[in-house]
Amino acid sequence: MGTLLDRFLRYVKIDTQSNEDSTTHPSTHGQMELAKILETELQELGLSNIALSEKGYLMAELPANVDKKLPTIGFIAHLDTSPDVSGKDVKPQLFLDYDGNDLILNQSENIALKIQDYPELSNYLGQTIITSDGTTLLGADNKAGIAAIMTAIANLINMPDIKHGKIVLAFTPDEEIGQGADFFDVAGFGADFAYTIDGGPLGELEYETFNAAIAHIGIQGINVHPGSAYLHMKNAMYISMELNGMLPINERPEYTRDYEGFYHLTKFDGSVEWAKMVYIIRDHDKTKFEKKKAYLEYCVDFLNDKYGESTINLRMQDQYYNMKEKIEPVFHIVTLAEQAMVEIGINPVIKPVRGGTDGARLSFMDLPCPNIFTGGHNFHSRFEFVSLESMQAAVNVITKIIELIEANDNPYDRA
């Protein structure tokens, strides 16, 4: 696991936070920096058809080492980290042979990963846990996935007795801001199907995502001196609070789980004269998803009737859809990953993603793409952590999937 660990520690030290306000592709320079490092490593490994686009998409190919026809399988991870928490100057820490106690991430800042807050830590007794110093995120999302893919491919090259068909890799930018598939060349990638290595704890296997939309709301108020405001002032902040109050409280992220959708206010800024709000809208069920969007439109129309036409401007657009409908017709690719986990002693945990992956959009671009665990927890947080042993398990799952494809003699064609 030394090579896996070395790779991961090297990758997380590169600041690849994406920026949703950027107009460039990729949205930040750090992503291209990491892509160029990976490009060099792929060249050193001897892979073929290595291509890094000006948009920050890195692809490569490991040629087949058998003559029989097998499906081309892809593995995908994203370069960027979340803009929610700083990814600059990440200082990874290793806690060897974890003993079950709180992890002190930063003594001077009094930051700790507490077992009472994160009881899942107890699943990793005796293992090596990796964290940041508590002032940044760690970057396991998705550099654990990158490290797992790179390590698995390096292992395959060094173990020619493992027979396989053509394998293709892709590392994408700006997944965290919903742009990871914007310039993805599916035809050029050439995979029959793929897996994103972008999941969470050990055993996660996911083929259902939210349907997703984003709503940008602008509110125009009227600001006059409060001493003469009677029947004239329109406080944009009050109107925004009224709009938010019309949305069901029990449909917020903090009160939903499993297949339950939500409205999530992600940004708010304003004054008496103007206010801006951003919501993300999520639901696994397409009908409920459409009803959520329609209800937000109704609320805006209601308040425009109340306060005057064009008081509130709503711009709403879909971001991605539940990839379940694209995966179910080729469900054997989920079964293949499940079988791989079982054969190496991992209990598969098949559940819906309460979020999205590049695979959600790629599946609708005719590249069916379930999602496999990386071993990480608490993504987008300074309390993010990953188990080294779980990362190694992800490497083993990738390898076993490749082995099973050769052994099963083209499962893709048996759909």
Q: Which of 149-158, 194-203, 400-409 has the lowest mean pLDDT?
A: 400-409
Are the C-beta atoms of residues 157 and 41 closer than 8 Å to each other? no
Cα 97 to chain center, whole Å?
29
pLDDT in tens, 381-396: 999 999 999 999 999 9
- Measured CA to CA in angstroms, residue 272 lies from 13, 213, 216, 219, 267 at distances of 42, 28, 18, 10, 17
> Residue 2 — very low, low, confident or very high, per pLDDT cuts 50/70/90?
low
Of residues 362, 80, 384, 8, the one with CA closest to residue 209: 362
The residues carrying an active-site annotation are 80, 175
Model pTM score: 0.90
Q: What is the pLDDT of residues 94-127, one digit of tens each?
A: 999 999 999 999 999 999 999 999 999 999 999 9
Alpha helices in 202-260 (DSSP H): 236-246
State how beta strands 371-373 and 204-206 pair: antiparallel
CB 86 within 8 A of CB 136: yes
- Residue 208 DSSP SS3: coil
Tens digit of pLDDT for each residue in 152-200? 999 999 999 999 999 999 999 999 998 999 999 999 999 999 999 999 9
**pLDDT at residue 1 greater than cutoff 60:** no
- Calculated CA dihedral for residues 370, 373, 374, 376, nearest 10 degrees: 130
Q: Per-residue b/e over 375-409, b at no fewer than 16 CB within 10 Å? A: bbbbbeebbbbbbbebbbbbbbbbbbbbbebbeee
- Domains of the chain in start order, with CATH, are 2-209+322-414 (3.40.630.10), 211-320 (3.30.70.360)
Quote the CA–CA distance of 275 and 217 in Å, as a whole number. 8
Could you read off the pLDDT of 251-273 as tens digits, one per residue? 999 999 999 999 999 999 999 99
